[in-house]
Amino acid sequence: MDIRADARKQSSPCVAIIGGAGEMGRVFAKIFMPVAKTILIADKDTELVPKQAVKQADIVILAVPMEQTLIMIKQLMPLMKDGSLFMDITSLKKEETEAMVAFSPSARVEILGTHPLFGPYLDIEGQIIALTPIRGEYWFPYVKEIFTKAGLIPIVTSPAEHDQVMSVVQALLHVVLLSLLGTVQSLAFDAKLFNVVSTPLYKIVWMLASRIVSHDSNLYKNIAVANTYSVETLRTFQRVFNQFLNDIETTNGSQFEERFRSLKAYITKSAAQDTLKMPVKSTKTTTPHDLTSESQSAAQNTINSSMMTHSKKNLDKDASQPPIIPDQSQQLIDFFSKTYMDTRLLRELSNKAIWKNSFKDDTK
């Protein structure tokens, strides 16, 4: 029996969240609560087991740790009903969506890979969620609208493109930040000294690096190791890094400046084309966007940012200059704090005098 039409007509599907007692599972329960007839929570400590929940559900959301995702897909996907939707929320999409297709009992089971690009401690309004629909004629528009009404900004892409982007956005960034911590540790200096005798930019980067090591190492290992594009991206970074290192070792200042100017031109051009935007909270309903050639321009124009608006004004004034942002240090601190720092770590950092003193000194 195909349950799609009835469930959508009633706008009240039965939603099963596997791993629903976890932090992100609870986030998705809250998102679907306004529309779901029933939300079934199946977790390791719940009476309801995943296989029972899947057999009852119109929509199944897999919200388990990354290393368990493929195992659970293989166990649960064959139990899906015709016309139902299977979703996951893990950080990688290519291998995961391929497994969903491989273990699907029927082509009438719809498949949607999702990746919420935020943590469970943030206000989700204005946050990005990547969507990689595989089969979604009935359920995809419905779920996309639910995310939009919840305040999220859906970005549609392919599994391969998603993982390529994540090899930079996650794997490369994490390795660079961890390498910063490892370098300071290897230099055998007191880390507190670096936090006092430092710039606002260094403090921001140090906070981001500290955030990573405050979390589970297993997650970051999986994000880097399981992404098939990570090695290629990191090799590229290594090559670029070595170019700068060689310029410094050989005191080739002109070559260093040439690389710098090239990057400056790249960033300025990107800003002028409105491709670099920061997600911000909005009181208005946000329209979902697809990263396709037809809709990319519309997607770029919807995420408004006061920082980018000011940058565009400066570019109009002098196209040869890079974007200049007034009060840049404080705006960046506020942005990174709201976007990347979970509430527990912010509270911990705010209780440390070294951070209070450091930020206070910067405002003199």
Q: Same domain, yes or no, for 95 and 120?
A: yes
Nearest to 122 by CA among 343, 271, 335, 350: 343
- Residue 314: per-residue pLDDT: 37
Q: Same domain, yes or no, for 148 and 174?
A: no
Domain boundary, last residue among 101, 124, 157: 157
- Residue 312: per-residue pLDDT: 36
- Residue 189: per-residue pLDDT: 81
Would residue 221 count as lying in a domain?
A: yes
Nearest to 308 by CA among 364, 267, 265: 267
Q: Same domain, yes or no, for 320 and 345?
A: yes
* Kind of pairing between the strands at 128-135 and 110-116: antiparallel
pLDDT in 10s for each residue of the chain, 364 residues: 455 555 554 468 999 999 999 999 999 999 999 999 999 999 999 999 999 999 999 999 999 999 999 999 999 999 999 999 999 999 999 999 999 999 999 999 999 999 999 989 778 999 999 999 999 889 999 999 999 999 999 999 999 999 999 999 999 999 999 999 999 999 988 878 877 888 988 889 999 999 999 988 999 999 999 999 999 999 999 999 999 999 999 998 999 999 999 999 998 887 766 544 544 444 444 334 444 433 333 333 322 232 233 333 333 433 344 333 333 444 444 555 554 444 444 444 434 433 333 333 333 3
Q: Same domain, yes or no, for 145 and 177?
A: no
Domain boundary, last residue among 90, 124, 157: 157
- Residue 77: per-residue pLDDT: 98
Q: Same domain, yes or no, for 27 and 118?
A: yes
Domain span at residue 134 reads 4-157
- Residue 172: per-residue pLDDT: 98
CA–CA–CA angle 169, 330, 197 (5° rounding): 90
Q: Which residues does 52 contact at the CB level (< 8 Å), separation at least 6? A: 42
Q: Same domain, yes or no, for 15 and 119?
A: yes
Q: Is 152 exposed, middle or buried (0-12, 13-18, 19+ CB in 10 A)?
A: buried
User: Residue 274: how many CA atoms within 13 Å on its side-chain side?
Assistant: 16
Domain boundary, last residue among 128, 157, 186: 157
- pTM, rounded to two decimals: 0.74
Would residue 13 count as lying in a domain?
A: yes
> Residue 131 is encoded by which pair of tokens?
């969507």
Q: Same domain, yes or no, for 150 and 187?
A: no
- Residue 344: per-residue pLDDT: 46
Q: Same domain, yes or no, for 133 and 250?
A: no
CATH of the domain at 24: 3.40.50.720
In whole angstroms, how large is the CA radius of gyration of the chain?
Answer: 23
